[in-house]
Amino acid sequence: MTKSEIGKKIKERRKIMSMPQSHLANYTGLSVVTLSQIESGKANPTLDTLTEIFHFLNLEVLVVVKNMNHEA
Q: What is the predicted pLDDT for the residue at 48? A: 92
Contact 17, 24 (CB under 8 A): no
Structure confidence at residue 37 (pLDDT): 97
HSE-CB for 50 with a 13 A CA cutoff: 20
Distant-in-sequence, close-in-space partners of 44: CB < 8 Å, separation ≥ 6: 3
Q: Give the pLDDT band of residue 71 (cuts 50, 70, 90).
A: low
pLDDT at position 69: 79
Task: Give the pLDDT confidence of 20-37 residue by residue, as tens digits.
Answer: 999 999 999 999 999 999
pLDDT at 72 over 90: no
For 3-56, the fitting CATH number among 1.20.144.10, 1.10.260.40, 3.40.190.10, 3.40.30.10 is 1.10.260.40
CB atoms within 10 A of CB 68: 5
pLDDT at 67: 84
Domain boundaries, the chain: 3-56
